[in-house]
Amino acid sequence: MAAIPTHAQDTGSPNQSLQPPPTADSLAKWHEVFTYEVRYSFFKLGEVKVEITSDTLADGNRRLRLQSIITSNSSVPFVGKEENHYTSVLGISGSDLRVHEFWSDNVDEENYRKSEYVFDHDLQNVYANEKGESPDTLALEEPASAGHALFYFSRLTAGVDTTVIFPVYINRKKSDLTMNQTTKTEMREYDAFPGEVKTYYGKGNTDIDGPFGFSGEFESWYLADDLRVPVEARVNVWLGNVKIKLIEYAKERRK
């Protein structure tokens, strides 16, 4: 098992990418907006929009605000109306990526800051606060996350034969997500791009209880480009296996 490498390591595989995955700093140079469609069988369950919404400096260090917005398709009887926002403040210095703060908002129930996690990398503590529960202090393990920042972390190793364990802090406890990245490529089609695109394949498993009951085994695909755009995931939720596919993608270089 390995922590997130600063750069892709040569595993000796004949299929090793000639184009290494991005560093945290190279990802931060782009303003990207992703829209994903979530489907179960023939049903569209909803959409997920992911965006770095701001780029600032704090104590001389770069800070990015990553936001994911999940909205359900309220016309599906067994889903109902749901809108949940997840926000993480990320610190980037060169190739180093850290989560400093995370919070979630259950917008449809007007339950804001439902969950809050503060990551103290100096004292190696995570301060966890779930509404209705007593605050707790947990031991921090790197590369710590509270969930959706894995969207960013995973891109740093996509297209490389490696296994990474991510500590995930959720429900006032630490769980682990294991990601097995590979050099395996596939040609696949997505609404966000014309024609087929080359992708890298990954898979993993986790014991976390994530949004809509996400847990267990999952699969993922990334565009085989210099940014390793996440294009698809297949995950297990309480309904069963759902597909999350990229339907819109836009990027522009930050000024």
CATH classification at residue 29: 2.40.360
Whether residue 206 lies inside any domain: the answer is yes
Closest CA to 232 of 205, 200, 207, 210: 200
Q: Is the pTM of this model over 0.85?
A: yes
Residue keyed to tokens 């993608």:
249
Whether residue 98 lies inside any domain: the answer is yes
Whether residue 11 lies inside any domain: the answer is no
Whether residue 5 lies inside any domain: the answer is no
- Per residue of the chain (255 residues), what is the pLDDT tens digit? 333 333 333 333 334 446 899 999 889 889 999 999 999 888 898 999 999 988 887 777 888 999 999 999 888 777 778 899 999 999 986 677 899 999 999 999 899 999 999 999 999 999 999 988 899 999 999 988 988 898 889 999 999 999 999 999 988 989 899 999 999 999 999 999 999 999 999 999 988 775 555 678 899 999 999 999 999 999 887 666 889 999 999 999 987
Whether residue 56 lies inside any domain: the answer is yes
Whether residue 9 lies inside any domain: the answer is no
Whether residue 10 lies inside any domain: the answer is no
CA angle 133, 148, 80 (to 5 degrees): 70
Dist. CA 40–CA 233, nearest whole Å: 12
Q: Which domain covers residue 128, as residue numbers?
A: 24-253
Please tell me the total count of domains within the chain.
1
Dist. CA 93–CA 63, nearest whole Å: 9
Rg of the Cα trace of the chain? 18
